[in-house]
């Protein structure tokens, strides 16, 4: 059990290396190796959940492998309650993602190699207890995206007008290279900001170690926290789609292939929010308290603005991408409340939105592959030809609009209650309004794609979900319902950790 976390992180990486030895032509083998890697990580994540001692709480399954002793860098891995839930999320999405991209044809071997490396990075971030390693894994998770979108992505013509049309002419807007470049550059600028703060914390703590528990105990001067927190928020926030640094997300998600969209919106965006909370708010509590009003206001903007933007889109992938921007606002709102309920809700929303958007992107990929169009107005009546896709799309939509019985409701309920109990009660109102807007665009999209008589005969022969795709859909759909009906399955883990991390903040604001 001691090396369990290391195995979880290493399994996808090892599978990626093994893939290099498999001949490209043996396509089934390629997929099986990838699926094995994903399965080991998923099984490991479930094991972590079963072995985590709720009564004891805190960091468990700790393991440390020294890397650069002179700088105090070590591969320190351990799991807390938050990690448990996010490991499960990553495990589920990865497994479903491999299944969903089973039919990929072009250079599938390299695709899976990069995908698995990315996944290893994500697992690494969630269990790292060493700030340097945390950052290293963070970069490992972000960078393969450039290749995955640039090589396997799809391009889509975008009209070039608006106030900056002279700029648009220069770039190939809507193209996959453009999307890949945009995403990578924006996230790397964010990383640069994070790196500055990490070094400042290392120096300021003066303990010659990157151990997060040591750095977390250090009392940083108020002035430093006040300049450092917004940098972390911007840096990590750019990955979680914080307004106005969210614009990589629609282009990136629209161009990315199915499994990459699933992983990116489902898991990677959570890295950003996780970073803001775990590094920013937990380790720089004074900065968090000072800046929470701004974080909350921007989160509210994200929710409403993202939902309205989604409502104004005609491209299916853009709709879902903007809905992610809106839902990540719910996570950030929960974080900004600085209350136990709000933070529980924020982490739960990371989980719920991850599953939901994973399901969404799997379905969008399916629809796009069959219908060869992403334009929603040109679709219609697909429900007859692909009933399973229609059912799961509706399910994902219901979760995203916060219908009780799905995981989305539990998360949003906790976040909104937390918002009302925070120092800025009014945040709850635009938050709830955003959920209504979600109902408007999601149901309209469902109607336009799946209901109605259908515009063209060429859509009558669309194939429904096939075997491996069924697997992906059932896993994700079942998770949405199970965790919506009985949230304690993971909420107990989250709730075990939240009060502990929130302690420093509560002390500062004098809350009970």
Partner 1 sequence: MTVTPLTLALVALFTPLGAAALIGAVTPLRRRGTPAAWLSIAAVMVTLGCAARLFMLRLAQPDGELLRTFAWLPSGSSTLAELGVRLDGVSIPMFLVLSVVAACVQVFSLGYMADEPAPARGRYFAYHSLFVFSMGLLVLAPNLLELFIGWELVGLTSYLLIGFYYQKPSAAQAAIKAFWVTKFADMAFLLGLILLVSVTGSFSWTASPPAPWATAITLLVFVGVMGKSAQFPLHIWLPNAMEGPTPVSALLHAATMVAAGVYLIVRAHPLFALSETTLAVMTSIGAFTALFAAVIAVVQTDIKRVLAYSTCSQLGYMIAALGAGSVMGGYFHLTTHACFKALLFLGAGSVIHAVHSNELAHMGGLFRRMRLTGVTFMIGALALAGVPPFAGFFSKDLILEAMVHGERWLPLAALLAGAFLTALYMTRVVWLTFFGEPSTEHAEHAHEHGALMVAPLVVLAVLSAGAGFFGKTLAAVYGLEYEFSLTPVGVAGSALGLLGILAGWFAWGRPGKTTRAFELVAPLGTLARSGAVNRAWELGYRQVLMVAAELIAWFDRYVVDGVMNFIAWATLRLGTRLRRLTTGNAQDYVYAVVAGAVVIAAWGIFG
Q: Is residue 377 at the binding interface for partner 1, with CB under 8 A as the rule?
A: no
Give the whole-angstrom CA distance, residue 496 versus residue 498. 6
DSSP one-letter code for 458: G
Stretch that binds partner 1, among 36-44, 252-260, 277-285, 376-384 (CB under 8 A): 376-384
Q: Is residue 298 at the binding interface for partner 1, with CB under 8 A as the rule?
A: no
Q: Which is nearer to partner 1, 122 or 414 (CB)?
A: 414
Q: Is residue 23 at the binding interface for partner 1, with CB under 8 A as the rule?
A: no
Residue 198 is inside which H or E element, if any? helix 176-205
Beta-carbon contacts of residue 391 (< 8 Å; ≥ 6 apart): none
Q: Which is nearer to partner 1, 25 or 170 (CB)?
A: 170
Instruction: Report the Cα–Cα distance between both ends of the chain, in Å, rounded.
Output: 37
Q: Which is nearer to partner 1, 152 or 409 (CB)?
A: 409
Give the whole-angstrom CA distance, residue 111 versus residue 132. 28
E-state strands within 69-196 = 73-79
According to CB under 8 A, which residues from 463 to 482 bind partner 1?
A: none
Stretch that binds partner 1, among 108-116, 133-141, 363-371, 433-441 (CB under 8 A): 433-441
Choose which of 121, 383, 408, 471 interacts with partner 1 (CB under 8 A): 383
User: Please, how many CA atoms are within 13 Å of residue 409, restricted to the half-sphere of its CB?
Assistant: 14
Q: Is residue 277 at the binding interface for partner 1, with CB under 8 A as the rule?
A: no
Task: Give the C-alpha distances (Å, rounded to integers) separating 128 from 3, 133, 203.
Answer: 13, 6, 20
Choose which of 23, 50, 55, 164 interacts with partner 1 (CB under 8 A): 164
Choose which of 66, 69, 377, 405 interacts with partner 1 (CB under 8 A): 405
Q: Which is nearer to partner 1, 307 or 366 (CB)?
A: 307
Give the whole-angstrom CA distance, residue 471 versus residue 323. 24
Three-state SS letters, 330-364: HHHHHHHHCCHHHHHHHHHHHHHHHHHHHHHHHHH
Per this entry, what is the length of the chain?
512
Q: Is residue 168 at the binding interface for partner 1, with CB under 8 A as the rule?
A: yes
Output the CA torsion sign for 406, 407, 412, 418. Answer: positive
- List residues bridging with 425 in a β-sheet: none
Q: Is residue 191 at the binding interface for partner 1, with CB under 8 A as the rule?
A: no
Choose which of 294, 429, 456, 463 interacts with partner 1 (CB under 8 A): 429
Q: Which is nearer to partner 1, 262 or 379 (CB)?
A: 379
CB of 36 to partner 1, least distance (A): 29
Q: Which is nearer to partner 1, 171 or 199 (CB)?
A: 171
CB of 42 to partner 1, least distance (A): 23
Q: Is residue 368 at the binding interface for partner 1, with CB under 8 A as the rule?
A: no
Q: What is the total count of residues that contact partner 1 (CB under 8 A)? A: 64
Give the whole-angstrom CA distance, residue 272 versus residue 312. 26
Q: Is residue 461 at the binding interface for partner 1, with CB under 8 A as the rule?
A: no
Stretch that binds partner 1, among 161-169, 195-203, 219-227, 258-266 (CB under 8 A): 161-169
- List residues bridging with 500 in a β-sheet: none
Per-residue interface string for the shown chain with partner 1, residues 103-122, x marking contact by CB under 8 A: --------------------
Q: Is residue 432 at the binding interface for partner 1, with CB under 8 A as the rule?
A: yes
Structural contact between residues 265 and 321, judged by C-beta atoms closer than 8 angstroms: yes
Give the whole-angstrom CA distance, residue 46 versus residue 88. 7
Q: Which is nearer to partner 1, 130 or 251 (CB)?
A: 251
Q: Is residue 426 at the binding interface for partner 1, with CB under 8 A as the rule?
A: no
Comparing C-alpha atoms, which of 286, 280, 129 is closest to residue 210?
Answer: 129
Q: Report H helices in 372-406.
A: 382-385, 387-400
Give the whole-angstrom CA distance, residue 503 versus residue 482. 31
DSSP 200-263: HHHHHH-SS--BHHHHHHS---HHHHHHHHHHHHHHHHHHTT-TTS-THHHHHHHHS-HHHHHH
Q: Is residue 417 at the binding interface for partner 1, with CB under 8 A as the rule?
A: yes
Q: What phi-psi label fits residue 108: left (phi over 0), alpha (psi between -120 and 50 degrees) or beta?
A: alpha
Give the whole-angstrom CA distance, residue 19 versus residue 34. 8
CB atoms within 10 A of CB 154: 16
Q: Is residue 491 at the binding interface for partner 1, with CB under 8 A as the rule?
A: yes
According to CB under 8 A, which residues from 303 to 342 bind partner 1?
A: 305, 308-309, 311-313, 340-341
Q: Is residue 155 at the binding interface for partner 1, with CB under 8 A as the rule?
A: no
- List residues bridging with 68 in a β-sheet: 73
Q: Is residue 443 at the binding interface for partner 1, with CB under 8 A as the rule?
A: yes
Stretch that binds partner 1, among 22-30, 105-113, 200-208, 435-443 (CB under 8 A): 435-443
Q: Is residue 279 at the binding interface for partner 1, with CB under 8 A as the rule?
A: no
Choose which of 416, 427, 459, 483 interacts with partner 1 (CB under 8 A): 416
Q: Which is nearer to partner 1, 93 or 390 (CB)?
A: 390
Residues found near partner 1 in the complex (CB under 8 A): 161-164, 167-168, 170-171, 173, 182, 185-186, 244, 247, 305, 308-309, 311-313, 340-341, 344, 381, 383-384, 398, 401, 403-405, 409-410, 413-414, 416-417, 420-421, 428-429, 432-433, 435-437, 439-441, 443-444, 447, 450-454, 487-488, 491-492, 495, 498-499
């Amino acid at each position: 059990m001691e090396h369990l976390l290391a195995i979880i992180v290493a399994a996808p990486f090892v599978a990626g290396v093994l893939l290099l030895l498999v001949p490209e032509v043996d396509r089934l083998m390629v997929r099986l190796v990838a699926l094995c890697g994903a399965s080991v990580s998923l099984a490991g994540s479930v094991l972590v959940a079963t072995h985590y001692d709720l009564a004891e709480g805190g960091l468990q399954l700790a393991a440390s492998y020294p890397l650069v002793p002179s700088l105090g860098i070590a591969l320190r891995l351990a799991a807390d309650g938050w990690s448990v839930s996010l490991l499960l999320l990553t495990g589920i999405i990865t497994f479903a993602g491999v299944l969903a991209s089973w039919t990929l044809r072009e250079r599938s071997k390299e695709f899976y190699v990069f995908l698995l490396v990315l996944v290893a990075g994500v697992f690494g971030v969630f269990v790292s207890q060493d700030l340097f390693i945390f950052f290293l894994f963070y970069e490992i998770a972000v960078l393969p995206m450039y290749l995955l979108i640039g090589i396997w992505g799809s391009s889509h013509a975008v009209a070039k007008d608006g106030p900056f049309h002279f700029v648009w002419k220069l770039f190939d807007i809507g193209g996959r290279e453009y999307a890949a470049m945009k995403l990578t550059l924006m996230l790397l600028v964010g990383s640069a900001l994070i790196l500055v703060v990490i070094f400042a914390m290392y120096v300021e703590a003066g303990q010659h170690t990157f151990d997060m528990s040591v750095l977390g105990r250090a009392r940083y001067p108020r002035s430093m926290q006040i300049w450092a927190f917004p940098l972390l928020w911007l840096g990590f926030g750019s990955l979680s789609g914080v307004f106005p640094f969210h614009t990589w997300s629609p282009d990136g998600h629209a161009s990315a292939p199915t499994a990459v969209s699933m992983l990116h919106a489902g898991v990677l965006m959570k890295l950003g929010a996780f970073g803001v909370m775990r590094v920013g708010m937990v380790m720089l509590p004074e900065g968090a308290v000072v800046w929470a009003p701004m974080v909350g206001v921007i989160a509210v903007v994200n929710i409403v603005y993202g939902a309205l933007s989604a409502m104004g889109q005609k491209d299916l992938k853009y709709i879902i991408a903007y809905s992610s921007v809106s839902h990540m606002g719910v996570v950030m709102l929960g974080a900004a409340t600085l209350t136990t309920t709000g933070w529980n809700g924020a982490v739960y929303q990371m989980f719920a939105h991850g599953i939901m958007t994973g399901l969404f992107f799997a379905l969008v990929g399916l629809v796009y592959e069959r219908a060869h169009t992403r334009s929603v107005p040109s679709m219609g009546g697909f429900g007859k030809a692909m009933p399973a896709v229609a059912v799961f799309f509706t399910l994902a939509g219901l979760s995203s609009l916060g219908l009780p019985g799905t995981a989305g409701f539990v998360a949003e309920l906790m976040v909104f209650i937390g918002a009302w109990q925070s120092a800025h009660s009014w945040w709850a109102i635009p938050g709830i309004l955003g959920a209504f807007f979600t109902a408007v665009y999601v149901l309209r999209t469902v109607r336009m794609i799946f209901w109605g008589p259908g515009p063209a005969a060429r859509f009558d022969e669309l194939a429904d979900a096939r075997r491996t795709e069924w697997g992906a859909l059932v896993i994700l759909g079942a998770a949405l319902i199970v965790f919506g009906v009985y949230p304690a399955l993971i909420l107990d883990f989250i709730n075990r950790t939240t009060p502990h991390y929130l302690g420093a903040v509560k002390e500062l604001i004098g809350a009970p």
